[in-house]
């Protein structure tokens, strides 16, 4: 069974091939054009996908050493994401499936982030909890099988990736700022500055208050000392990162307590954060969890995770038809 998968939900154009459950290629082209605007510009993203999709798909097929006539299905990200970006991948996938007379498989991008854990060993046992943390989402997901997932907690406002990126912007760092906060935080003191942890009921999250508190703090200190950010960059990054991780882990501990599930995974772009990876491992060691942390290449957007999710659907015979259209917002109902 050979499936070609396409991911185009945001600013990564990616294609991957999976053969009998094993990834044979995963080509990712990241759009750098957005850096100068401090965030993803939807129209530019869509155009860049149009430019990149053909070479990226060609490269993924070439690396897999398969001819396109050997493919059994074409998978694609249906959503959630930017509509103009998704349209490029969906249209491409539909056209290719039609030309090759093979089935189409639609994939939910957020479920694919979770299923990235099944690309390589060790794979989590069912049921497990997955903290999915990315540029657009912050969710605690209860995963009962590859096709049965329930969101048991989510953000009421900003995503944690957004909080990292906006925090970085306040400090004058380039977009996306998450990886830069991570880098500077490693040399800073996480206890030098404290930011408030919101009291949100249940398993839900909120990040907008931390962002505002961080903004006002930086503005106030900079008014007194214009060199403040430069002098204390590492401590500011460490303090912000520490607060964001604490918000995440408090709710994750609560979810584990409530569900009694001790297999705990992280997924999504922010799971690349070294502080979060370390804190999760330490928390897991202390509480007797089995912790699952993805390889860096499978944290941020990639088509390998779309291929993995599609491969589970293929086994179950779940296909889409040519009328399928992209969805900017999507829940987990299959």
Residue list for the binding site = 109, 113, 132-136, 165, 178, 182, 273, 301
CA distance 118 to 294: 9
**Could you say which of ligand ATP, Fe ion, Mg ion, none residue 146 binds, taking C-beta under 5 to 8 angstroms by partner kind?**
none
Length of the chain: 334
106 binds Mg ion (CB under 5 A): no
Instruction: Name the minimum Å distance from CB 69 to ligand ATP.
Output: 32
Looking at the Cβ atoms of 7 and 106, the one nearer to Mg ion is: 7
Asked if 6 and 74 count as a contact pair (C-beta separation under 8 A), the reply is: yes
Looking at the Cβ atoms of 137 and 251, the one nearer to Fe ion is: 137
Give the neighbor-by-neighbor strand order of the sheet with 2-7.
22-30, 12-19, 2-7, 73-79, 104-108
Instruction: Name the minimum Å distance from CB 268 to Fe ion.
Output: 6
Looking at the Cβ atoms of 173 and 291, the one nearer to Mg ion is: 173
Instruction: Name the minimum Å distance from CB 136 to Fe ion.
Output: 7
How is the chain split among helix, strand and coil, in percent rounded to 5? 50, 20, 30
Burial 75-111 (b: 16+ CB within 10 A, else e): bbbbbbbbbbbbbbbbbbbbebbeebebbbbbbbbbb
Subset of 1-30 contacting Mg ion (CB under 5 A): 10-11
The contact set with ligand ATP (CB under 6 A) reads 9-10, 80-81, 109, 113, 134-137, 161, 164-165, 176, 178-179, 182, 268-270, 272-273, 300-301
Looking at the Cβ atoms of 7 and 235, the one nearer to Fe ion is: 7
Establish how many alpha carbons lie within 13 A of residue 146's alpha carbon, considering only the half-sphere containing its beta carbon.
21
Chosen residue from 301, 307, 308, 311 binding Fe ion by CB under 5 A: 301
From residue 328, alpha-carbon distances to 14, 34, 40 in Å are 18, 20, 15
Residue nearest to ligand ATP (CB): 269
Instruction: Name the minimum Å distance from CB 7 to Fe ion.
Output: 8
Instruction: Name the minimum Å distance from CB 212 to Fe ion.
Output: 25
CA distance 45 to 299: 20
Instruction: Name the minimum Å distance from CB 132 to Fe ion.
Output: 9
**Could you say which of Mg ion, Fe ion, ligand ATP, none residue 106 binds, taking C-beta under 5 to 8 angstroms by partner kind?**
none
Q: Near Mg ion by CB under 5 A, which window of 88-96, 122-130, 225-233, 293-301?
A: 293-301
Looking at the Cβ atoms of 165 and 235, the one nearer to ligand ATP is: 165
Q: Which two tokens stand for residue 83?
A: 């509509």
Strand, helix or coil at 128?
Answer: strand
CA-closest candidate to residue 82, choices 130, 117, 34? 34
DSSP code, position 27: E
Q: Which segments are annotated as binding site for Fe cation?
A: 109, 113, 301
Q: Which two tokens stand for residue 193?
A: 């500055």
263-267/2-7 β-pairing: unpaired
**Could you say which of Mg ion, Fe ion, ligand ATP, none residue 161 binds, taking C-beta under 5 to 8 angstroms by partner kind?**
ligand ATP
Q: Which two tokens stand for residue 2?
A: 């050979």
Inter-axis angle of helices 178-185 and 228-259, nearest 10:
100
Instruction: Name the minimum Å distance from CB 80 to ligand ATP.
Output: 6
Binding footprint of Mg ion on the chain (CB under 5 A): 10-11, 301
Binding footprint of Fe ion on the chain (CB under 5 A): 134, 301
């Amino acid at each position: 069974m050979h499936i070609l998968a396409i991911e185009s939900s945001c600013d990564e154009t990616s294609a991957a091939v999976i053969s009998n459950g094993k990834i044979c290629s995963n080509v990712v082209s990241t759009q750098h054009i957005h850096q100068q605007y401090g965030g993803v510009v939807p129209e530019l993203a869509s155009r860049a996908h149009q430019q990149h999709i053909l070479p990226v798909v060609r490269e993924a097929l070439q690396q897999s050493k398969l001819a396109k006539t050997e493919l059994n299905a074409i998978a694609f990200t249906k959503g959630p994401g930017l509509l103009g970006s998704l349209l490029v991948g969906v249209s491409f996938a539909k056209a290719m499936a039609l030309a090759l007379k093979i089935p189409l498989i639609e994939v939910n991008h957020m479920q694919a982030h979770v299923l990235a854990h099944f690309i390589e060993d060790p794979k989590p046992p069912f049921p497990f909890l997955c903290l999915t943390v990315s540029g657009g989402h912050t969710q605690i997901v209860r995963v009962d099988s590859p096709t049965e997932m329930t969101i048991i907690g989510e953000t009421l406002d900003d995503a944690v990736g957004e909080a990292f990126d906006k925090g970085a912007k306040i400090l004058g760092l380039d977009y996306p700022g998450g990886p830069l906060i991570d880098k500077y935080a490693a040399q800073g003191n996480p206890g030098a500055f404290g930011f408030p942890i919101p009291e949100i009921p249940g398993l839900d999250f909120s990040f907008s208050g931390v962002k505002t508190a961080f903004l006002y703090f930086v503005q106030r200190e900079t008014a007194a000392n214009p060199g403040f950010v430069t002098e204390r960059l590492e401590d500011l990054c460490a303090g912000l990162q520490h607060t964001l991780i604490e918000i995440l882990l408090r709710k994750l501990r609560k979810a584990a307590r409530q569900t009694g599930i001790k297999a705990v995974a992280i997924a999504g772009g922010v799971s690349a954060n070294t502080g979060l990876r370390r804190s999760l491992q330490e928390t897991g060691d202390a509480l007797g969890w089995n912790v699952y942390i993805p390889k860096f290449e499978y944290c941020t957007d990639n088509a390998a995770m779309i291929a993995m999710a599609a491969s589970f659907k293929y086994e179950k015979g779940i296909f889409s038809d040519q009328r399928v259209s992209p969805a900017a917002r999507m829940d987990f109902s299959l």
